[in-house]
Amino acid sequence: MTYEEEVSNLTRHLSGLTDAASGYNKVLEENRKLYNLVQDLKDSVKSVDHLDDGSITVITPSKNGKDGRKSFNFNKVFGLSAAQEEVFEDIQPLVRSGLDGYNVSYLLMVK
């Protein structure tokens, strides 16, 4: 190859690397924005308004500035003062069923 052909090939490869780096930086920026959006959504719940044996009501900010309320219903809701033993007693049959090969589902949220 001549010197000019080698420079031309290197220029093409360098251009391709530059394009790839630019695309990578765009993906990184998009991931950063999505991560921040997820964090904002996690922090948008202000407080628990009501907690009883089967439901949780939370206060969430709405777009017009007023607080909204959302209720979620569950088979069982443990309060913040629930001991590990109490939680274990409730889910022990499900754990046993899971170990026996049955499909089980249990949502446990800790704050």
pLDDT (tens digit per residue) in 31-56: 999 888 887 767 665 677 777 778 88
CA distance 38 to 32: 10
Do 29 and 57 belong together in one domain?
Answer: no
Give the pTM: 0.40
Do 2 and 37 belong together in one domain?
Answer: yes
Query: Tens digits of per-residue pLDDT, 62-79?
Result: 767 666 788 888 888 887
Least confident interval from 4-13, 15-24, 38-47 = 38-47
Do 65 and 86 belong together in one domain?
Answer: no
Where are any strands of DSSP class E within the chain?
A: 47-51, 55-61, 67-73
Instruction: Tell me: pLDDT of 19 over 80.
Output: yes
Do 20 and 32 belong together in one domain?
Answer: yes
Boundaries of domain holding 61: 44-76
